[in-house]
Amino acid sequence: MSKYWSSLVEQLKPYVPGEQPKMANLVKLNTNENPFGPSPKVIEAIQKELNDNLRLYPDPEGQALKDAIASYYADYDIKASQVFVGNGSDEVLAHIFQGLLKHDDPILFPDITYSFYPVYCGLYQVEHHAVPLTDSFEIDPADYRRTNGGIIFPNPNAPTGRYLVLQHVEEILQANEDSVVVVDEAYVDFGGESAISLVNKYPNLVVCQTLSKARSLAGLRVGFAVANEELIEALQRVKDSFNSYPLDRLALAGAVAAFEDRQWFEDSCNGVINERERLTEELEELGFEVLPSKANFVFTRHKQKSGAAIAALLRDEGIIVRHFDKPRISDFLRITVGTSDQNNALLKALAEL
């Protein structure tokens, strides 16, 4: 604390990201990065962009990326003017909170969810109400029929990995015509269906995605939102009052190439899905309960041992997983699906414990 701080800064409770330890040879299964790495075409595109043009500002609109995303989702009839791009989906989400979720009534999100949401509420002074997940850690659309200033949830949810079918997403949209409903699809490509298919049907829907997980570009910082043009305009207005150039030349070039290389993307998602199914089965054999996951992680608890104890023992073996010391989920571990070697190392360590 300092007398120079604003009163807002004094009250902030910032997000704490999963740690990025500097030790070599770690089996790092704590931050849901993709173990298979980005497409070689992405690296090539970035290398081509490494030239004297770096003295020039990038395109403030990121038009080439909006075009690439619109054409990737051509089946859903998405126009480039319905796409917003930002520096990681965390930045896109921040603009959504400020531009579309800040109203008089509290916004709604699940009690167990992405822990950045309450942080944005603190930063932008948005009231919220946490809606409990069911006992089986699912979102029940019936719980989202109450006065609100907006709704946001990840689908699949984090850290549970549970997916809400689009029919239920539609129920929430239909019951809340007067508020914006934000579906944060950071993990949708690992087996879920995207609500981008619903954007032209619901004027109150915003779908947010990231290139950090399925496209294996967490280090590049690219995220985007798809919605109708009026909602996108709100995000543009916030962005142009905040930072004209959120995506640099390298990020734009790499992100465009990522959307163009569909084959690499699909192979990598399938690789993660196959490993996730194997990991789930083997964890169950070791006495773990594993929630059904459509993400690149599993959320699991052991029938006898506490989550904190297992996380600490794994750490001694150089394996890092995520434990949340929070009500309802303190027994659980969130384990990122790794390469088959990494998953084998994890399973071996768990069997020995």
Ligand X SMILES: *Cc1c(COP(=O)(O)O)cnc(C)c1O
What is the contact mask toward ligand X in residues 96 to 115, using x (rule: CB under 6 A)? ------------------x-
- Burial class from Cβ neighbours inside 10 Å (0-12, 13-18, 19+) for residue 324 reads middle
Enclosing H/E stretch for 334: strand 333-336
**Under 8 Å between Cβ of 205 and 195:** yes
Give residues 189-218 in contact with ligand X (rule: CB under 6 A).
210, 212-213, 218
Query: Between 214 and 243, how does the x/- string for binding to ligand X read (CB under 6 A)?
Result: ----x----x--------------------
Residue (158 or 234) nearer to ligand X, CB: 158
Compute the distance between CA of residue 316 and CA of residue 322 in angstroms, rounded to an integer.
Answer: 14
Residue nearer to ligand X on the CB measure, 296 or 342: 296
Minimum CB–partner distance for residue 168 and ligand X (Å): 18
Smallest distance from ligand X to CB 195, Å: 14
Residues forming a β-bridge with 301:
289
Decide if 308 contacts 332 (C-beta within 8 A). no
Q: Does residue 254 belong to the site contacting ligand X (CB under 6 A)?
A: no
Residues 273-312 as x/- pattern, contact with ligand X by CB under 6 A: ----------------------------------------
By CB under 6 A, tell whether 33 contacts ligand X. no
CA atoms within 13 A on the CB side of 293: 29
x/- letters, 67..96, toward ligand X (CB under 6 A): ---------------------xxx------
Cβ neighbors of 216 (< 8 A, separation 6 or more) are 33, 34, 36, 37, 38, 39, 268
Q: Which of 38, 62, 149, 154 binds ligand X (CB under 6 A)?
A: 154
Among 101, 107, 173, 186, binds ligand X (CB under 6 A): 186
Of 49, 184, 261, 275, the one binding ligand X (CB under 6 A) is: 184
Q: Which two tokens stand for residue 313?
A: 């023992």
Rounded Cα gap, residues 67 and 14, in angstroms: 34
Alpha helices in the chain (DSSP H): 7-11, 40-48, 63-72, 88-100, 116-124, 166-175, 229-239, 249-260, 262-285, 307-316, 340-352
Least separation, in Å, of the C-beta of 154 and ligand X? 4
| First-residue to last-residue Cα distance in the chain | 43
Cβ-based nearer residue to ligand X, 91 or 275:
91
Residues in contact with ligand X, total (CB under 6 A)?
13
Closer by beta carbon to ligand X, 184 or else 275: 184
Binding site for ligand X (CB under 6 A): 88-90, 114, 154, 158, 184, 186, 210, 212-213, 218, 223
